[in-house]
Chains A and B, each alone.
Chain A
């Protein structure tokens, strides 16, 4: 069940607290743009929870009940768990892992699936951060996305979360929806901040896989906004949200100071995390693996993940690959020293040769030893981050 050497995993887990991600693969309905691992078949709930319970216990034991400092319940729609189911899951987690140093426990929630009582129950179990999949506050756009909630429900959910005692509230906002206009994006962002969101994740609608929305667009029934419109909206948010007190800290993420997602930050800082549940990804030491995305196969443990072991060059290259997504950037001098220690100076030199012309063209900026993307660089980050991909 544990796909890596237990003793070495234990060593890695002992060095620093882990992040723990749990994937809840259920949704009432699939959104028209979605390519995540999720199902409407709630009859699988028992099997999924059973496997999660088993995995939590086994990992806790294998790693010697290690400390976790961030916990994240994602999906899917975790708010489809009933309060008692959530209570069980929380209890299993606490049994298996040392949560005394827990700094953050986030729940993802769909505004159309919850009420005040559920949020109060979750808060009482110790969950202290909630992330709502709001996407937009325009009912026509929400229907187009196949969201099961209306904008009024989203605002209610935010209000209930505050009433239930959540001080850390995040909302997802989507840019690039067919029919979405720039002014509306800004207005929705303002409304969400006024309604109590202390953190916003701004995602671009990206239809990289087959999905109903893609089909509608291909058939000419809907049109995506132009690259310019999307870029304008993204840039306008980069200006507007700091004015509202939420400066960006990552390409897609804005927060009031101190409200940044610690769990998500660990992905960009390459700190260890364990992901349990179908399609959940883990990184521990130099190992990385992703659980099966086929829910039943995962639940029955029929599709074991392939473990990838990163070599020194790949691990080094991920520091800027992920780190440059963050606004504070990457300590390039420190990276260079690390490269020297690993005998990888030529690799760092090669990166620099490719980055320099981009810095000259205003896509990156160097401040002291820190290298970071500019606002334009953020929007064009694929070409820049691609430098670090082999």
Chain B
């Protein structure tokens, strides 16, 4: 057991590309946790997708041994967290496992919305936060200006202990470790008290079953004991406890303040919930805690979409792929759905748009599937005339109009940080998206913070890409859910050659239905290739057609060439042409490409 006074648990908060993973790599090197020859960039992000996108999707933990200036060797547990808004809950649980956090800010840039949101999250969890200003090797580095910005924007952070570093060259990185020892308080807790351990993440391992990442708050945990998950109520015998150094390394026990893992032949991730409290089952030697740790939540998806195989024969493969994916991502929810247009598929729930993209990409990439994803939707509260309420996350499942008394839609509070020259454009964007301004503040010479209340259904439709293009990339965005509000929403159907395509229905605000209908039919016309016959595309509300476009038939698609008796060559040409169509979904003999189902995302508001 490590003396808890020699333990420091900390996390790193940073915006994408501000250097979190590079700094983590340096800290691992400096403490010889990883030999230089085994070092590869972004070592904690082991998923291909994480490395490619430069993001962290899953939380990781690693234990560093650091001989400090005071002559003592400290155990530093670095908990690496995802930073994106979609994973706010996971981030909050990882932060809850720490006593301190390093706020890494790119000294050539400044504070971003994501950093801000996560710093607030850290402060809410009573963490000590000190800034590290990164990239000081670059000529455009302005650590003083950025530090001042941190002061203005956040205020509560201990800027007096800021460290200027270059994670790339390693300059001053040792100073960061020293500062962790000095600034981050040691964990408190009672090793003799009943066990309370925070499950801050978990993943599925083919050989060990579910691996839970835990932080012991009180008590101790050993192999052979029976553990009890308080929220799920399940019991499992402990196979192994250990720490990440950085590979999984078995230890005899985990005690107060320590961070590590526990396995217990837990077969599915569904048995473990992030944020749950782990304690002992009642036995001769152990007794359970009566109290759960604070902050546990059941995760609810906020963005929904249908995922269908392009080729209906792939349905079972898609189901298998989803089952497998879910082993490693319990926040991804899905249930079978049947669409008239798209056949058998799944209605899926995601934590946000990034989560949705990641799931889709992993399904296509890791399982080699061609998929049609429908436009993202949100969950509406629909109040019916018989005083009942239904939650609807699929526009095509909206009850008939006469039965609807009113509809409420989810709202978010969005924070945007940008440069003054982009404020005009961003205000316009927020207004178009039915936003209500809450705050507009200059938080530094060149930095403006906008806070808007926005309907989530406006945000899921390409808001983020628009924001980036208006601000040329100089705006960051973060949000949190802010309840529901009644709204005048109508269901807009899209008809292809007179037949409503259920998978294309959307809910829109009445005031925008005309322009959305027009924009959507125009966009559909652009993405649906010319076919053998004219294709009429109509937008309708109820039985009223509000917009219409027409994809003219192709005039000529013929092999009129002298190939003589070389039938094979002729067939090869036809087969090649047919191959191009395979990625499209045939609806009423009209071939519709994937882009058409997401056309709404590209409609100018």
Residues of A within 8 A of B (CB): 19, 21, 74, 172, 201-204, 206, 208, 227-228, 230-232, 234, 251-252, 264, 267, 273, 275, 279-283, 288, 290, 308, 318, 321-322, 354, 357-358, 361-363, 378-386, 389-390
Contacts and interface: CB of A to CB of B under 8 A. Distances in A.
A204 B557 CA distance: 10
Contacts of A381: 557-559
A103 B225 CA distance: 95
B588 A357 contact: yes
Nearest to A72: B564
B571 interface: yes
Given A321-B571, A390-B575, A290 B566 contact: yes
Nearest to B589: A357
Contacts of B559: 206, 251, 381-382
Contact of B556 (A21, A264, A380): A380
27 contacts: A21-B565, A74-B564, A202-B560, A203-B560, A231-B555, A251-B559, A251-B560, A252-B560, A267-B565, A279-B566, A281-B566, A281-B569, A283-B565, A288-B568, A290-B568, A308-B568, A354-B589, A363-B533, A379-B557, A380-B554, A380-B555, A381-B558, A381-B559, A382-B558, A383-B557, A386-B575, A386-B578
A230 B556 contact: yes
Residue of B556, B571, B589 with highest tally of chain A CB at under 10 A: B556
A279 B569 CA distance: 11
A283 B556 contact: no
Given A357-B589, A386-B575, A390-B575, 6 more contacts: A203-B562, A208-B573, A230-B556, A283-B565, A381-B557, A382-B574
A73 to B, nearest CB: 12
B354 interface: no
A379 B556 contact: yes
Interface in B548-604: 553-562, 564-569, 571, 573-575, 577-578, 581, 588-589
B568 A228 contact: no
Contacts of A390: 575
B436 interface: no
A227 B554 contact: yes
B564 A21 contact: yes
- Describe B's contact surface by its main secondary structure: loop
Nearest to B554: A380
B560 A358 contact: no
B532 interface: yes
A288 B567 contact: yes
Contacts of A231: 555-556
A228 B577 contact: no
Contacts of A321: 571, 574
Contact of B532 (A74, A234, A280, A363): A363
B560 A227 contact: no
Contacts of B562: 172, 201, 203, 252
B555 A206 contact: no
A227 B556 contact: yes
Nearest to A205: B561
A362 B534 CA distance: 12
B567 A227 contact: no
A206 B567 contact: no
Interface size of B as a range: 20 to 34
B556 A234 contact: yes
A106 to B, nearest CB: 11
Contacts of A280: 564-565
Nearest to A275: B565
B244 to A, nearest CB: 52
Contact of B575 (A172, A267, A363, A389): A389
Given A227-B555, A382-B558, A389 B578 contact: yes
Contacts of A378: 558
B558 to A, nearest CB: 5
Nearest to A232: B555
A379 B574 contact: no
A160 B269 CA distance: 87
A251 B560 CA distance: 7
Contacts of B571: 321, 389
A363 B565 CA distance: 26
Given A21-B564, A389-B571, A361 B558 contact: no
B21 to A, nearest CB: 44
Interface string B520-561: 000000000001110000000000000000000111111111
6 tightest A-B CB contacts, nearest first? A231-B555, A357-B589, A281-B566, A281-B565, A204-B560, A231-B556
B555 A204 contact: no
Contacts of B556: 204, 227, 230-231, 234, 379-380
Contacts of B578: 386, 389
Nearest to B590: A357
Nearest to A325: B559
A203 B569 CA distance: 17
Contacts of A382: 557-559, 573-574, 577
A234 B554 CA distance: 14
B154 to A, nearest CB: 57
A332 to B, nearest CB: 19
A285 to B, nearest CB: 14
B497 to A, nearest CB: 10
A251 B553 CA distance: 19
A322 B564 CA distance: 12
A281 B560 contact: no
B589 A358 contact: yes
Contacts of A208: 573
Contacts of A252: 560-562
B157 to A, nearest CB: 59
Contacts of A204: 556, 558, 560-561
A389 B533 contact: no
A21 B577 CA distance: 29
A11 to B, nearest CB: 20
Residue of A172, A282, A362, A382 with highest tally of chain B CB at under 10 A: A382
A206 B577 contact: no
Contacts of A264: 564
B588 to A, nearest CB: 7
A267 B567 contact: yes
A379 B574 CA distance: 14
Contact of A383 (B532, B564, B566): B532
Contacts of A384: 532
Residue of A227, A280, A383, A385 with highest tally of chain B CB at under 10 A: A383
Nearest to B559: A382
B567 A322 contact: yes
Nearest to B556: A231
Contacts of B561: 203-204, 206, 252
Contacts of B565: 19, 21, 267, 273, 275, 280-283
A10 B554 CA distance: 46
A358 B574 contact: no
Contacts of B557: 379-383
B336 to A, nearest CB: 25
A146 to B, nearest CB: 17
Interface string B445-475: 0000000000000000000000000000000
Residue of A208, A282, A379, A389 with highest tally of chain B CB at under 10 A: A389
Nearest to A264: B564
A234 B573 CA distance: 21
